[in-house]
A and B are shown apart, each in its own frame.
Chain A
Amino acid sequence: GAVVSQHPSRVICKSGTSVKIECRSLDFQATTMFWYRQFPKQSLMLMATSNEGSKATYEQGVEKDKFLINHASLTLSTLTVTSAHPEDSSFYICSATTGSGANYGYTFGSGTRLTVV
């Protein structure tokens, strides 16, 4: 089946630094990738949608200059949290689909727990 690898699974960074999270589709071409943020005991909140080769579409309230998303190839999308602050600490999850998610399904990564100290 389709597999999405998300790396790292855990990262601790100092306040003010940047951290990059990778999301790779291992056995399929991901035309669209999604980035979610999940607070403890809460739902997944969509941050942005990225299509290969084009700029990401950010949801309302998400700072695009703070959360940089790159989807340069059909198998890789990256989320860079720039100038991280403690309030950015959260669980970040990516998902990917080839074509229409309704028809082809969404495959989720296993998430990245970011802790900013």
Chain B
Amino acid sequence: AQTVTQSQPEMSVQEAETVTLSCTYDTSENNYYLFWYKQPPSRQMILVIRQEAYKQQNATENRFSVNFQKAAKSFSLKISDSQLGDTAMYFCAFMKLGANNLFFGTGTRLTVIP
């Protein structure tokens, strides 16, 4: 079974600063996908970034980037130049290759302070 752990229930960051959210996972699979989703107060889940396990290069989407350490089973999210609109719950998620369902971590509540 896959488990996804987010050890930081809550975090805060000053506007324009950088913050890193951590995520670790446990799996016996070699090929899989990892995701970061954002859930703002509206409760709509929004995909932030995704990473294929077979790719060594870390994914980047504008201000969002990941540090994917496959051997350590770690998948952290870095948010640069934090904006007030980044305030949300952030969920790390895992999906094994060939499957179609996501396993979510428990989430990290991020607050961007003006």
Contact = CB atoms under 8 A, between A and B. Distances in A.
A97 B91 contact: no
B95 A44 contact: no
Contacts of A34: 101-102
Contacts of B104: 43-45
Interface in B69-114: 91, 95, 97, 100-107, 109
The number of chain B residues touching the other chain, given as a range, is: 20 to 34
Contacts of B107: 41-43
Nearest to B45: A108
Interface string A60-104: 000000000000000000000000000000010101010011100
Contacts of A102: 33, 50, 52, 95, 97, 100
Interface of B: 9, 33, 42-47, 50, 52, 91, 95, 97, 100-107, 109
6 contacts: A34-B101, A46-B101, A106-B47, A106-B102, A108-B44, A111-B44
